[in-house]
Amino acid sequence: MDGHSDFQADILVIGGGMAGLSAATALAPAGAHIIVLDKGRGPGGRMAARRVEIAGQQVSFDHGAQYFTARDPAFRETVAAWEQAGVAARWPAAGEDAWVGTPGMNACVRHMAAGLDVRWNVRAERLLRDGRLWQVEAGETVFTAGTVLVAVPAEQAAVLLADVAPDFAARAASVASAPCWAVMADFPELLPVADTYRSDTAPVSWAARNSAKPGRSGTESWVIHAGPARSRALIDLPKDEVARLLLADFFAATGTAPAAPQHLDAHRWLYAQPEARKGVGPLFDAGLRIGIAGDWLHSPRVEGAWLSGRALAEAVAQERLASTS
Ligand SMILES: Cc1cc2nc3c(=O)[nH]c(=O)nc-3n(C[C@H](O)[C@H](O)[C@H](O)COP(=O)(O)OP(=O)(O)OC[C@H]3O[C@@H](n4cnc5c(N)ncnc54)[C@H](O)[C@@H]3O)c2cc1C
């Protein structure tokens, strides 16, 4: 290592999804210089939205998380602030306590990122120790900080942490995430079916009329999710074939006469939701100044990711207080 650094910060957060941005948002008021790195082209993580032009109209599909609930009092307060800011709204079709981002699911993450220094399109490839500092290699660019927080899905955290924080890496490696194939379909005519469909046993675990969510455009757009077993069975098939198969599953499951879509696409989430949580154990190693956050450390939901990020921020802040007192 040559000690070269392109960007320096007090805290580097790897992963700008809900967990990483929750941690960065909670730590920012204390004045630390925080840089968040995310490999995505834009905000969302697994709360992603895909924009496409269909019949001359921009349509946005929520192909990852469909809605979220807010049960923790602090998260409720945050969601109330998002509602005030116009980036979240209730969606009763999914349940009386269901919320969605507006105008797309990624709006809450975009809103959080707006107040932070987030570098999109930056994939952290390697973590290295340089004396008491961390270096994060991202292509040709090197970021340096005293503290690094890793907020990526468990399988990806296991790889990043293997050489530098073996205990955290082992914890991440013990988590398996379920895959999910997501189909995005748009139809010229309304389908005679309710706004949401869910099943624990059918090949299709969830389907929603995306265009019925608050603040959406488009006439009749649908997102269809295959359950974990069906997703695994189709895991290596080409996406166009998967889209056709799952659309047929959807019509069969809902008893709807098949209709021809004017847009059909599919996205494979390899690590959609962790199947078991590994919440036991510290989140922050004060000696090494490295921490972990993510839904896999709390619960496999948006709220779990937010709470995990906030818990990590609290652990970092407590340690900073202890080291200055
Ligand atoms: C298909 C699907 C359906 C879901 N349905 C729901 C639902 O209905 N309700 C609900 O509450 N939750 C749902 N979830 C789960 C919810 O989306 C997640 O729990 C939550 O978004 C996880 O946030 P996170 O920050 O932990 O991870 P992520 O959102 O995955 O964020 C991690 C970020 O890290 C970035 N990253 C990864 N590796 C690197 C690297 N090496 N360098 C830089 N950046 C990196 C990624 O680009 C990503 O932005 C669903 C998820 C999926 C995929």
Average pLDDT, the chain: 95
- Please work out whether the CB of residue 124 comes within 6 Å of at least one atom of ligand 1: yes
- Please work out whether the CB of residue 267 comes within 6 Å of at least one atom of ligand 1: no
Mean pLDDT in residue range 225-247: 98
Q: Could you give the domains of the chain?
A: 7-48+106-175+276-324 (3.50.50.60), 177-274 (3.90.660.10)
Protein residue closest via CA to atom 49 of ligand 1: 45
pLDDT of residue 2 exceeding 60: no
Confidence of residue 4 (pLDDT cuts 50, 70, 90): confident
The whole-number pLDDT of residue 218 equals: 77
Nearest-atom index, ligand 1, CA of 294: 26
Distance, CA 2 to ligand 1 centroid (Å)? 34
Distance, CA 260 to ligand 1 centroid (Å)? 31
Residue 71 in tokens: 């049960």
Percent of the chain with pLDDT over 70: 97
- Please work out whether the CB of residue 198 comes within 6 Å of at least one atom of ligand 1: no
- Please work out whether the CB of residue 14 comes within 6 Å of at least one atom of ligand 1: yes
Protein residue closest via CA to atom 50 of ligand 1: 65
Tell me which residue of 181, 179, 180, 185 sits closest to 265, measured CA to CA. 185
Span 264-296, pLDDT tens digits: 999 999 999 998 666 667 799 999 999 999 999
pTM above 0.95, yes or no: yes
Distance, CA 116 to ligand 1 centroid (Å)? 19
Distance, CA 86 to ligand 1 centroid (Å)? 22
Could you give the residue ranges of the DSSP H alpha helices within the chain? 18-27, 73-85, 107-114, 154-161, 166-173, 228-233, 239-254, 302-324
- Say if strands 7-14 and 141-150 run parallel, antiparallel, or are unpaired: parallel
- Please work out whether the CB of residue 273 comes within 6 Å of at least one atom of ligand 1: yes
- Please work out whether the CB of residue 13 comes within 6 Å of at least one atom of ligand 1: no
Mean pLDDT in residue range 190-217: 95
Residue 323 in tokens: 């080291």
The whole-number pLDDT of residue 280 equals: 67
Mean pLDDT in residue range 45-61: 94
Please check whether residue 294 is in contact with residue 45, taking contact to mean a CB–CB distance below 8 angstroms: no
- Vertex 86: Cα angle to 50 and 295 (nearest 5): 60
- Please work out whether the CB of residue 261 comes within 6 Å of at least one atom of ligand 1: no
Q: Which residues contact 211 (CB under 8 A, 6 or more apart)?
A: 59, 217, 218, 219, 220, 221
pLDDT of residue 301 exceeding 70: yes
- Please work out whether the CB of residue 67 comes within 6 Å of at least one atom of ligand 1: yes
Nearest-atom index, ligand 1, CA of 303: 11
Query: Facing residues of 150 across strands?
Result: 14, 292
Distance, CA 252 to ligand 1 centroid (Å)? 30
Distance, CA 63 to ligand 1 centroid (Å)? 12
The whole-number pLDDT of residue 278 equals: 61
Weakest-pLDDT range from 2-11, 33-42, 139-148: 2-11
Weakest-pLDDT range from 157-161, 218-222, 298-302: 218-222
- Please work out whether the CB of residue 302 comes within 6 Å of at least one atom of ligand 1: yes
Q: Is 19 helix (H, G, I), strand (E, B) or coil?
A: helix
Q: Which uninterrupted H or E stretch holds 266?
A: strand 263-274
Mean pLDDT in residue range 183-190: 97
Which carries the bigger pLDDT value, residue 1 or residue 33? Answer: 33
Distance, CA 64 to ligand 1 centroid (Å)? 8
3-state helix/strand/coil string of 33-99 = CEEEECCCCCCCCCCCCEEEEECCEEEEECCCCCCECCCCHHHHHHHHHHHHHCCEEECHHHCCCCE
Mean pLDDT in residue range 105-127: 98
pLDDT of residue 249 exceeding 70: yes
Pocket test for ligand 1, best of 25, 41, 46 (most atoms within 8 A of CB): 46
What dihedral angle (degrees, nearest 10) is formed by the CA atoms of 27, 28, 30, 31?
A: 140
Span 120-153, pLDDT tens digits: 999 999 999 989 999 999 999 999 999 999 999 9
Confidence of residue 1 (pLDDT cuts 50, 70, 90): very low
Pocket test for ligand 1, best of 72, 136, 152 (most atoms within 8 A of CB): 152
The whole-number pLDDT of residue 320 equals: 73
